[in-house]
Amino acid sequence: MQRPLSSFAFAPAVKVKLINAGFHTAADLCDLRPLQLSKESGISQQEAVEVLQTVRHDASQGAGAGSRMTALELLGREQAMGAIVTFCSALDSVLGGGMPVGKTSEVCGAPGVGKTQLCIQLAVDVQIPVCFGGLGGQAVYVDTEGSFMVQRVVDVAKAAVEHCSLLADDAEQREALKVFTVEDILSKLYLFRCHDYVELLAETYLLPDFLSQHPEVRLVVIDSIAFPFRHDFEDLSQRTRLLNGLAQQLAQMANQYNVAVVLTNQMTTKVGNGQSKLVPALGESWGHAATQRLILHWEGEQRLASLYKSPSQREATVLYQITGAGFRDVLSSDHASADSSAIPSGNAPKRLRTQADDHQT
């Protein structure tokens, strides 16, 4: 009740008027009616109604459930959220277990390096049952380029199912395998097709509703976010504003609905000092949008993934390859890719978490 009014999310003009009229804390407002408040502070009646509703709602929620948390609670919550494995164990260990749920990650790369393949792999891996160390969730795939091919998803899904059936030890895992078939995987992958940036923005406004109707979704992939924003935009400052708004909405959605948001970005050539190099597209300000940034690039014939920006993991570069079965490790000896498992069997969550702990110390 002693919460100061400046900490509420009102428009700055409204805040100034309230403070000038002498209202400083929530307690000052709770006994007033909208008409009185609007007369005394000079804000419109509509605004007064909203201010009072917000203050009362906050008061009824008690000790700010959801708005205040200790760091220990936050740590517990983050660890409980888990991560989505990529089946490339080197990349998983660099990422601290996999793509983090509850945060936005960006994957940048030149065409053909494997961004869409990684997204498809994640969309299948998020559905791995909990007893195998996965999240048992569903996936939303927003396709803006037209590069989503069901044929490829079927390949990756088949390989994942085979991998899990090789690992199945106990009765619980065999039971879980019965609902982890290729058709089940396909039925839990929702595809949204957007042809331009307006459609993409419309889908982003509608995603929160979709996520509340489908609470099992744990992954939202947007492949790619650069494509619709890179043509027919004369006003680049409008593009920056739209992208910033989009980034904020996605970050909020990731946090509120407990989903991992993975965005794919293109590369563009930047010419400077007589040299040209590849940098992620959409400008410098977009670099701040995602929590984590992964850059996929070529080094001769090899594909490398570099963790370029992360709040909790160290920058590192690993090798990976794309096989018929999907996104995999590069093994030093020429084994069949079926051996390169990233899912430890048995008590998988514990092992994943200790790996993550090792990395964070």
Binding positions for other proteins, 58-117, rule CB under 8 A = 110-113, 116-117
Least Å distance, CB 297 to other proteins, is 6
Identify residues 173-232 at the interface with other proteins (CB under 8 A).
Answer: 183, 185-193, 195, 197-199, 201-203, 205-206, 209-210, 226-227, 230-232
Other C-beta atoms lying within 10 Å of the C-beta of residue 114 = 21
The CA distance from 5 to 23, in Å, is: 8
Q: Which amino acid is at 171?
A: A
3-state secondary structure of 205: helix
Total residues belonging to the chain: 361
Closest of 267, 296, 331, 278 to residue 121, by C-alpha: 296
Q: Which one of 3, 39, 297, 351 is in contact with other proteins (CB under 8 A)?
A: 297
Between 113 and 307, CB nearer to other proteins: 113
Which is nearer to other proteins, 40 or 203 (by Cβ)?
A: 203
Which region, judged by CB under 8 A, interacts with other proteins, from 59-67, 81-89, 267-275, 308-316?
Answer: 267-275
Interacting residue with other proteins among 33, 77, 277, 335 (CB under 8 A): 277
Tokens representing 66 are 């959801």
Tokens read off for 301: 């014939």
Is 334 near other proteins (CB under 8 A)? no
CB of 271 to other proteins, least distance (A): 8
Site for other proteins, residues 7 to 26, rule: CB under 8 A: 9, 11
Contacts with 91 (C-beta within 8 Å, 6 or more apart), sequence order: 305, 318, 320, 329
Instruction: Please count the residues of this chain forming the interface with other proteins, following the rule CB under 8 A.
Output: 73
* Residue 266 C-beta: closest distance to other proteins, Å: 5
Question: Smallest distance, Å, CB 298 to other proteins?
Answer: 5
What is the per-residue DSSP string for 101-132?
TTSEEEEEE-TTSSHHHHHHHHHHHTTS-GGG
CA dist 32 and 28 (Å) reads 8
Cβ distance to other proteins smaller for residue 151 or 332: 151
For other proteins, the closer of residues 86 and 224 by Cβ is 224
